[in-house]
Amino acid sequence: MALRCKVILQSMKRGAVTSPSVCCSTTTHPRNSQWATFTNSAHPTVTTSKGTSNPSSNIVPRTSGAGYSCYVPARHISQSSTRMAPGTTTKPKLVAVEESRRFMIDCFTAANTPKENAVAMADLLIAADQRGHFSHGMNRLEMYINDLLKNSTDGYAVPKILKETPATAWVDGLNGLGAVVGNFCMDLAIQKAKQVGVGWVCAKGSNHYGIAGWYSLQAMKEGLIGISMTNTSPLMAPTRSKEAALGTNPIAVGAPAETEGFLLDMATTAVAVGKIEIQRRKGEPLPHGWAQDPEGNETTDPELAFKTGCLCPLGGSEITSGYKGYGLGAVVDILSGVLAGANYSTKVRKWTHAGADTHADLGQVFIAVNPDCFAPGFEGRLEDLHARLHGLAPTDPKKPVLIPGEKERLNIEAVKKAGGIQYLENQLNTCASLAERLKIQPMRFL
Amino acid sequence: MALRCKVILQSMKRGAVTSPSVCCSTTTHPRNSQWATFTNSAHPTVTTSKGTSNPSSNIVPRTSGAGYSCYVPARHISQSSTRMAPGTTTKPKLVAVEESRRFMIDCFTAANTPKENAVAMADLLIAADQRGHFSHGMNRLEMYINDLLKNSTDGYAVPKILKETPATAWVDGLNGLGAVVGNFCMDLAIQKAKQVGVGWVCAKGSNHYGIAGWYSLQAMKEGLIGISMTNTSPLMAPTRSKEAALGTNPIAVGAPAETEGFLLDMATTAVAVGKIEIQRRKGEPLPHGWAQDPEGNETTDPELAFKTGCLCPLGGSEITSGYKGYGLGAVVDILSGVLAGANYSTKVRKWTHAGADTHADLGQVFIAVNPDCFAPGFEGRLEDLHARLHGLAPTDPKKPVLIPGEKERLNIEAVKKAGGIQYLENQLNTCASLAERLKIQPMRFL
């Protein structure tokens, strides 16, 4: 018998603290799950030198239906697919990056979190917003805060090394905040890579750790290759299955080059659920290979796909090699959840907007590799590879071949030029509510 | 200006030594490339307890258009897609595994290769045939032999460690045979993993190393997680490009479980070129997302796709997240070719049936990880993950959810039951020609 995800799309109610203005999707064991998504109107926009832009600008929101992933580089979304939905309220306000960061730090410190850990989380979230991964930035703040207030995450936790070799460490995150656990582990991996060439650190007892690429970036800053993966709540149906049993399970691989580095940060599902929601709002059919219907067959009906709540793995259906995406999602779970002794597959809890009642116990892996241990001149060769890729004749002359990580750098530049990040009204409402609830200084606008 | 691959389909001529009965595809820099493929009729068949089967049986040939990959588990191919093409000659003969191995060892030793290295290559190729990866087994023998006879590969080469730490090694394969370099490197990675938890070994100066999964299997036998990747001749068009610039660049990840292990062995292209050839022979359109036309657009025309010679990355076109497959293919090239200081991207030579005039200088990476360095009980948890996946409600009750590596085990069992491997006539002709040319004992049949 097929038991699938029940979808709950939470309506957006301005000013209602407990009715989320952003509701992030989660699922858990398909036998008892919810699948809610935040809506497009929650996305920030960015003011560019040409004026205010909305998500149809070059700063494109990445929508997420999962605890993770949703790496949807703007370059891969046509403008039409990111048009604002009819009736969406958009009165964006520009917020200086430092003010956004201050606000997030204040929120965390008011929610059972010491300053140092609050800073770690704020830096993670602001980086996501700056890079254009809006779904993983301020958009998630309320969820983290609710987890802290419900004590399902321990803001004070200090990760502990349980077992160690010169090249490895097994860490217990002790239910700490994702960035706290993640930074601890990647720092350790970096130290080990500097000493013996490779650091391979696995964490159990962790929580949602934001964009996977954040941890790769830490290694890249040190001239190292950085890899990170995490398991997440089930949302992907393995090939041939009617049911979700793996998360969007992202993989991030970053490597430093002479000028700009390479950074792949991708979910192992075909797309994020947010992209299905966009098609649904537009009333347009889904491309093949995005999602399944209740019987486990591929569907192009966005309404049905949204209600069913089972994403296809990368590659789509079996005939287009979806079993490879399934295999990759399983690899992520094995190297993170299974190896770390954390939850995995259908054992991973749901994560709702309102917070969770149980610990997540996510598994994560952080790998740093020192290129100096191999052929000298790594960064120059990577630069040359990038040049070869950039030099390829494009199918559409207006759309040159890009390097993974390139679009994110353009987003960062746009934020700099704009002088800040422009958040949409719903996000601002959520922030105002948080400020009132946590008795902190509301966010100031430029 | 777009400069694309020129496709040369070499015709099959029985008994013609220099006209290949199997012609493996290769491409090199798209500005001057050839793309030839072996044909379906070159595939061996297996006799099961129910009698002789052809590739439409449960033993399904993996067709390859690249130096690599083409991991197309039989479970993912409908029977109709593997039907023999009209006019294909099939008079298969059963060959005992040991005799097939003996024959391959004799071929290598007669072609400037010492016994030990000949055994390494034979074991690799026979494992591919046993596992159902027929494109990477006996099917490739003549190409290796031609390379050896032309001295473009050095059968006597002994790989050399150029740089080493407790967890890493940089190896020069010195243009040795792929299995010789690969086994040397994975052995080293295993030793290091046993000592410090992780072994990360990169090789330059290598050659075609067969199925990537072979090296993961070596680690799994030691209770370790095994990962291997190699770059290959360009065949995949990066997202937005008209031209091929990355190979099929496979990734293999294996992990031991309490009973049967997990082994993902996949190309980062959507499909192998052999699958396009099958559609072409059947006169049926391609599914979306397999291949591009000369202008870089997705095509469903198998003839056009075959002539164009640019595979889509895993994920297909941009709208179905092909940029993720592109990113993964680039990651493989970075971790193998770029890191090792070998050739990469469009620097990788073509590899033709007739042998190559230049050294391949492929880059490869071999990683072993000791699960004992992390949470105790890894194999039990992986067993449980497998059980969860097996227990999922299938879309089609006749097609249960499978674990990566499961179909290959079924192939091995079928070979055991049959008492040998059944090779098709064209393969047997090639072997007879090789025996005559190399003055060795011809292959005996059961």
The per-residue pLDDT for range B387-402, each reduced to its tens digit, is 999 999 999 999 999 9
Point out which residues pair with A225 in neighbouring strands: A369
Q: What per-residue string of b and e applies to A281-304 under the rule 16 or more CB within 10 Å gives b? A: beeeebbbbbbbbbebebbbebee
pLDDT > 90 fraction of chain B, expressed in percent and rounded: 70
**Radius of gyration over every alpha carbon of chain A, rounded to an integer in angstroms:** 20
Residue B281's pLDDT is what? 77
Which among A255, A318, A345 is the nearest to B334, CB-wise?
A: A255
B296-305 pLDDT tens trace = 999 999 999 9
B370 interaction partners in chain A (CB closer than 8 Å): 168
Mutation target to probe the B interface, by most B beta carbons within 10 A, among A164, A240, A243, A264 is A240
Residue among B288, B381, B388 minimizing CB distance to A245: B388
Q: Does residue A131 contact residue A408 with C-beta atoms inside 8 Å?
A: yes
State whether residue B387 sits within 8 Å of chain A by CB.
Answer: no
Distance from CA of A190 to the nearest CA of B (A): 14
Task: For residue A348, give every residue at least 6 positions away whose Cβ sits within 8 Å of its Cβ, in sequence order, or none.
Answer: A28, A231, A232, A233, A234, A247, A337, A360, A361, A362
Binary contact (B170, A255; C-beta < 8 A): no
Give A357 or B124, the one with higher predicted confidence.
Answer: B124
Mean pLDDT, residues A266-276: 87
Are A315 and B319 within 8 A, CB to CB?
A: no
Task: Tell me which of B79 and A147 has the higher pLDDT.
Answer: A147
Q: What is the mean pLDDT of residues A297-317?
A: 93
Q: B320 at the A interface (CB within 8 A)?
A: yes
Given this model, what pLDDT does residue A51 score? Answer: 36
Six token digits for residue A356 = 């969770």
Reply yes or no on whether the pLDDT at A152 is more than 90: yes
Taking residues A328-335, report their average pLDDT: 98
Chain length of chain A? 446
Of chain A, the end-to-end C-alpha distance in Å amounts to 55
- CATH 3.40.50.720 is held by the domain B10-438: no
CA A165, CA B196: separation in Å to the nearest integer? 6
Closest in B316, B318, B401 to A76, CB measured: B318
ipTM rounded to 2 decimals: 0.84
Of A270, A374, A395, the CB nearest to B339: A374
| Res B90: pLDDT | 55
CB A353 within 8 A of CB A22: yes
Instruction: Flag whether residue B379 sits within 8 Å of chain A, measured between CB atoms.
Output: no
Strand B198-206 to B168-172 pairing:
parallel
Element (H, E) at B414: helix B406-418
Q: How many Å lie between the alpha carbon of A398 and the closest alpha carbon of chain B? A: 10
Q: With 70 as the cut, is the pLDDT of residue A22 above it?
A: no
Of B271, B323, B375, the CB nearest to A321: B271
What span, in angstroms and rounded, lies between the C-alpha atoms of A146 and B90? 67
Could you tell me whether strands A160-164 and A93-95 are parallel, antiparallel, or unpaired per DSSP bridges? unpaired
**Chain B residues with beta carbon closer than 8 angstroms to that of A333:** 385
User: Closest Cα partner for B251 from B332, B321, B361, B188?
Assistant: B332
What's the mean pLDDT in B65-87? 30
Distance from CA of A17 to the nearest CA of B (A): 36
Alpha carbon dihedral B48, B49, B53, B56, in 10-degree steps, equals: -80
Tell me which chain B residues have a C-beta less than 8 angstroms from the C-beta of A370: 168
| Mean pLDDT, rounded, for B186-194 | 98
How far apart, in whole angstroms, are the C-alpha atoms of residue B341 and residue A371? Answer: 10
Of the two residues A423 and B374, the one the predictor is more confident about is: B374
How far is the alpha carbon of B194 from chain A, nearest alpha carbon, in Å? 11
Report how far residue B303's alpha carbon sits from residue B309's, in angstroms, rounded to the nearest whole number: 10
Compute the C-alpha angle A302/A304/A307, nearest 5°.
105
Report the candidate in A416, A353, A426 with the shortest Cα–Cα distance to residue A96.
A416
CB B373 to CB A340 under 8 A?
A: no
Burial code (b: 16+ CB inside 10 Å, e: under 16) for A172-204 equals bbbbbbbbbbbbbbbbbbbebbeebbbbbbbbb
Please count the other Cβ atoms lying within 10 Å of the Cβ belonging to residue A250: 28
Q: Which residue intervals of A150-222 are DSSP H helices?
A: 178-196, 213-221
DSSP annotation of A58 reads S
Q: What is the mean pLDDT of chain A?
A: 82
Of B241, B270, B342, the CB nearest to A320: B270
| Distance separating alpha carbons of residues A49 and A65, to the nearest angstrom | 31
> CA–CA separation, B326 vs A205, rounded Å?
33
B357 touches chain A (CB under 8 A): no
Report which secondary-structure segment, H or E, holds B76: none
A156 touches chain B (CB under 8 A): no
- What tokens appear for B271 in the block? 């499909």
Nearest-Cα residue of chain A relative to residue B201? A374
Check: CB of residue B277 under 8 Å from CB of residue B65: yes
Residue B425 or residue B119, greater confidence = B119
Tell me whether residues B270 and A321 touch, CB distance under 8 A.
Answer: yes
Is some CB atom of chain B closer than 8 A to the CB atom of A197? yes
pLDDT at A90: 55
Separation between Cα atoms, residue B1 and residue B319, nearest integer Å: 24
Q: Does A345 touch chain B (CB under 8 A)?
A: yes
> In whole angstroms, what is the distance from residue B18 CA to residue B23 CA?
10
Q: What is the pLDDT of residue B119?
A: 98
pLDDT in tens, A211-244: 999 999 999 999 999 999 999 999 999 999 999 9
Q: Which value, to the nearest 10 degrees, does the dihedral of the CA atoms of residues A301, A306, A309, A311 take?
A: 60
- Residue A64 reports pLDDT greater than 80: no
- Report yes or no: A1 at the B interface, CB cutoff 8 Å: yes
CA distance B291 to B270: 8
The beta-carbon neighbor of B166 closest among A166, A331, A376 is A166
The per-residue pLDDT for A278 is 76
**The token pair that represents B37 in the structure block:** 């493929």
CB count in 10 Å sphere of residue A357: 12
Label the pairing between strands A93-95 and A262-266: unpaired
Query: Kind and range of the H or E element at B35?
Result: strand B34-35
CB contact under 8 A, A324 and B388: no
